[in-house]
Amino acid sequence: MEERPPSPLDPDDRDSTPLDPGAGEPGERSSSSAPQPPSEPAPAEPAPSSFEPSSPVDPPPAPYATSAIPPPAEEPPIPWEQKGLDFFSAFYETLRLLFLKPRTGFRRVPVAPSFARPLGFAILVGWPGILAATLWDLAFSRYLQSVLPMASDQQWERNPAVEIGFALAAPIWLPVVLFLGALLQHLFLMMVGAGKRGFVATFRVFCYAQAAALLGLIPLIGGLLSLIWHLVLQVVGLSAVHRVSVGRVLLAVLLPVTLCCACLILLVAFGAAWLGWLKNG
């Protein structure tokens, strides 16, 4: 029996697939039908660590929060009463404040129940100023007599020895004058409601206001300048130490002057009326 060649439609070959024209030799399967290896899964992103610091979040501002204002720094006392300063530095710095920045200087005057330091300063500056003003006044007295005929009258004759002796005794009578003047001035301050820090503060102002006496070293006009600057230091100092307005202090300073002028006018009027009554008999 003859064997026949296999038929192309043999059922044994029905699993075979058609050849791919670009696939090389016949009988090879197409690479497109080859099973692909399973793809690896993408690495998962690491979860955020709980130890990593989170970004700071500012708390919302309070609706009525206000910034704290630090208290003002306490000013040091006036240089004349500062501890640790030598004599010349304390004296110079005190004079500089009283002549250039009097309000700042008087605000630094401590209200302490001690009178030695301010009284010593008053004598230290007041004594040479009073002595210099007296000597200048005596030196120019002849010139004033030639200019002012009234000054050459016998009743205006002056005794230089008495005046110089009175000026040399200033350390004795000056504390008494300062005490009585401060006492009278403090009474008028109380009348206008300006003596808030007591008599000690007023007395200390009078002591440091004696710095104006150094202007008496200037010839001719030194006495007048000293009087004017003393009034300025007195008003500014009382206002700064007692923490009141300048207007109220000025009223308290001018009130005794006004009363003295009024009393003087009444005294003159009364004397004139009395003399007229005696004349008419």
What confidence tens digit (pLDDT) does each residue in 89-127 have?
A: 999 999 999 999 999 999 999 888 888 999 999 999 999
Q: Using alpha carbons only, what angle is made at residue 131 by residues 126 and 132, rounded to the nearest 5 degrees?
A: 100
In a domain, 269, yes or no: yes
What's the CA gap between 83 and 89, in Å, rounded? 12
In a domain, 18, yes or no: no
Tokens of 1: 């029996």
For residue 152, being part of any structural domain is answered with: yes
User: Range of 208's domain?
Assistant: 79-279
Q: Is residue 36 part of a domain?
A: no
Q: Which two tokens stand for residue 182?
A: 């401060």
- E-assigned strands of 102-196? none
Query: What pLDDT, on the 0 to 100 scale, is given for residue 273?
Result: 80
Burial of 21 (0-12, 13-18, 19+ CB in 10 A): exposed
Tell me 4's DSSP state: P
- DSSP count for the chain of H helices, then E strands: 9, 0
CB 178 within 8 A of CB 122: yes
175 lies in a domain?
A: yes
The backbone torsions φ and ψ at residue 16, rounded to the nearest 5 degrees and listed phi first, read -75, 145
pLDDT band for position 66 (cuts 50, 70, 90): very low
Report the number of distinct structural domains present in the chain: 1
In a domain, 232, yes or no: yes
For residues 240 and 78, what is the distance between their CA atoms, to the nearest angstrom? 13
What integer is the mean pLDDT of 141-157? 60
In a domain, 33, yes or no: no
Q: Is 110 a domain residue?
A: yes
Is the predicted pLDDT of residue 42 greater than 60, yes or no? no
Contact 131, 190 (CB under 8 A): no
Q: Residue 196's pLDDT is what?
A: 85
